[in-house]
Chains A and B, each alone.
Chain A
């Protein structure tokens, strides 16, 4: 069982370029999330989706967009990358019920130059 698969693992990107981070889960979880992790700032929620077809904004949504066309996939897009978006990005999923365990992917390290 793969759980959460993220791609790419690592990417260096020029400022102003468009980038999509991919996230796929095989656990049939309803809810999916994107977090960014920065040194000294912990994990901050970017966007989330509680069911296919719905999305919501987290704590730091500016400069990012998401879509949830089906249960398994939850891509995160940076329309025009900026250096402040250099971070490690984690996708996560959970069963949609009373708040419970988040299952995280291995992360995507993005560097914007």
Chain B
């Protein structure tokens, strides 16, 4: 089955700096790669996702890049703000044209702290 490795487990940056979180996956059939943000005491919330027919996707200050050959994808947050402080999870899976998300496997998470 799929195995997702996420690094680093903790990341501390100064406000205004960039943050990068990296994930690798093992199953070459995976074709969907979402990123979730979890604030303290809340459930995870999708912030951006990418499918395997795209190499990069941007949404304001966040971007995700995907390298299918190397089986890795990364989350980039630019101009970080204190409200970006949270735990971020990557996930990999999919490969079903009809089906649910039960094949998604999550990374272990990265705790990002943005210092004012």
Contacts and interface: CB of A to CB of B under 8 A. Distances in A.
Dominant secondary structure at the A interface:
loop
Nearest to A38: B108
Interface string B96-107: 111111111111
A98 B99 CA distance: 6
Interface residues of B, number: 30
Given A40-B108, A98-B97, A107 B102 contact: no
Interface string A52-84: 000010110000000000000000000000000
A104 to B, nearest CB: 3
B43 A42 contact: no
B106 A50 contact: no
Interface of A: 4, 30-31, 33, 40-45, 48, 50, 56, 58-59, 90, 92, 94, 96-102, 104-107
